[in-house]
């Protein structure tokens, strides 16, 4: 039976994984079709990171679905504990490598777009620091129970190193490197000779990783909470471990999306980008408004011509009646009243027509 914790892990990794894959596909499409340039080292690094992130998600979901992860009453067998330890070792190292590749990909992308020599030097140094940090964490984790490495999935074998300190050191160092990597280009953007609006836009784009930093901090919190649980075989099936793993699963795809969004500028500025779609929509609205105005003008002119015809007919009828009254019959009081009414109606029509004409001109 799949536990609630397993369902959460599966849903989270599936949604984030699909989004990350879609964004990376757009990144490669932008490079090859829109910009028509060859793929760079940053693109290949992000592709490997995506494969690792997907593999981590698949393995974690399998472990969660086939064991009692997150179930308080679950009593794991020895084989299940060994399997959980093996999977945990693989997931830890894969996640460390994945996060390192994402940072390196982002730094290589910075090198591609910012050619300032001092910035290039700082970026190279930071790439070296990231590689050294990630490799040291992997080596320390593999040797945390000594040699051979098979001791890692022996639940009876004690740790020779403080595994809690290693986990906290990785999460804290990873968070610090995330912050440095994401804010590194802001100083360069501030000195660019572009408009203030473009500077603001670039700054917002480069700080999209703020949620990534939040994810890293939350992961650090749950890593500390997990270290407070006694290191037993059952601890891998308890809530602190689940939350630690869950946020470890959230980090890679979120960073992949944030890093790849920076490369999609040509798509946003292209034929189907937001700016182009806005201009197209605005043009259609203006065209529709012009047609509506033209139709209204035509209707107004038609009404004016009809009123002119009515006015002419009424005027002719009135003149005919005046002539008839003056020639055939003597003027009576009733005829005078009728004549006065018709002349008043004629004058009202003339006044109304003048008013409509003035409104049409305005």
In this prediction, residue 5 carries a pLDDT of 74
Quickly tell me which residue has 């999977």 as its tokens. 87
Q: Which two tokens stand for residue 103?
A: 């940072």
Q: How confident is the model over 169-174, as a mean pLDDT?
A: 86
Burial class for 251, CB neighbours closer than 10 Å (0-12, 13-18, 19+): buried
7-15 mean pLDDT = 87
Lowest mean pLDDT among 94-103, 141-150, 241-250: 241-250
CA dist., res. 247 & res. 226, Å (int): 12
| pLDDT tens profile 275-302 | 555 566 667 777 767 776 666 655 555 5
- Among 28-42, 68-82, 286-300, 330-344, the range with the most confident prediction by mean pLDDT is 28-42
What are 300's two structure tokens? 């107004």
Tell which wins on pLDDT, 110 or 210.
110
Q: CA dihedral defined by 293, 294, 299, 304, rounded to 10 degrees?
A: 100
Q: What is the pLDDT of residue 199?
A: 61
Mean pLDDT within 188-193: 71
Specify the pLDDT at position 50: 95
Confidence check: pLDDT of 88 > 70:
yes
Q: Which pLDDT score, from 0 to 100, does residue 68 have?
A: 66
String of DSSP letters for 114-168:
---HHHHHHHHHHHHHHHHHHHHHHHHHHTTT-SSGGGGG-TTSPPSS-HHHHHH
Measured between alpha carbons, how far is 22 from 27 in angstroms, rounded to an integer? 9
Sign, CA dihedral 354-356-357-358, equals positive
pLDDT in the model for residue 324: 47
Least confidently predicted of 25-39, 94-108, 172-186: 172-186
Whole-angstrom CA distances from 319 to 285, 312, 349 are 51, 11, 15
- pLDDT level of residue 308 (50, 70, 90 thresholds): low
The pLDDT of residue 114 is 83
pTM (2 d.p.) = 0.69
What's the chain's average pLDDT? 74
Q: Across residues 304-332, what is the average pLDDT?
A: 49
CA distances from 220 to 176, 217, 338 (A): 11, 5, 99
What's the confidence (pLDDT) of residue 272?
Answer: 53
């Amino acid at each position: 039976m799949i536990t609630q914790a397993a369902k959460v892990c599966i849903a989270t990794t599936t949604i984030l994984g699909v989004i990350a894959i879609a964004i990376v596909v757009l990144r490669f499409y932008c490079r090859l079709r829109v910009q028509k340039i060859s793929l760079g080292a940053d693109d290949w690094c992000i592709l490997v990171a995506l494969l690792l992130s997907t593999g981590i998600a698949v393995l974690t979901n399998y472990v969660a679905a086939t064991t009692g992860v997150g179930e308080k009453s679950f009593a794991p067998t020895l084989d299940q504990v060994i399997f959980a330890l093996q999977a945990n070792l693989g997931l830890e190292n894969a996640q460390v490598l994945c996060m390192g590749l994402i940072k390196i990909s982002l730094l290589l992308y910075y090198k591609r777009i910012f050619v300032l020599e001092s910035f290039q030097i700082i970026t190279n140094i930071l790439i070296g620091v990231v590689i050294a940090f990630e490799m040291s964490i992997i080596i320390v984790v593999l040797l945390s129970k000594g040699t051979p490495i098979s001791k890692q999935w022996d639940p009876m074998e004690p740790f020779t190193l403080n595994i809690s300190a290693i986990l906290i050191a990785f999460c804290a160092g990873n968070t610090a490197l995330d912050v440095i990597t994401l804010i590194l280009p802001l100083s360069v953007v501030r000195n660019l000779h572009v408009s203030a609006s473009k500077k603001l836009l670039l700054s917002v784009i480069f700080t999209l990783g703020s949620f990534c930093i939040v994810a890293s901090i939350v992961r650090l919190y749950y890593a500390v909470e997990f270290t407070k649980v006694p290191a037993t075989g059952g601890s891998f099936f308890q809530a602190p471990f689940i939350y630690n793993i869950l946020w470890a699963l959230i980090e890679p795809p979120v960073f992949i999306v944030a890093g790849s969004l920076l490369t999609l500028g040509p798509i946003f500025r292209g034929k189907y980008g937001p700016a182009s779609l806005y201009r197209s929509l605005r043009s259609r609205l203006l065209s529709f408004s012009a047609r509506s105005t033209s139709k209204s003008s035509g209707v107004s002119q038609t009404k004016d011509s009809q009123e002119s015809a009515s006015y002419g007919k009424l005027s002719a009828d009135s003149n005919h009646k005046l002539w008839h009254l003056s020639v055939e019959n003597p003027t009576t009081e009733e005829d005078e009243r009728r004549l006065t009414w018709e002349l008043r109606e004629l004058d009202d029509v003339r006044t109304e027509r003048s008013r409509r004409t003035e409104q049409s001109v305005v």
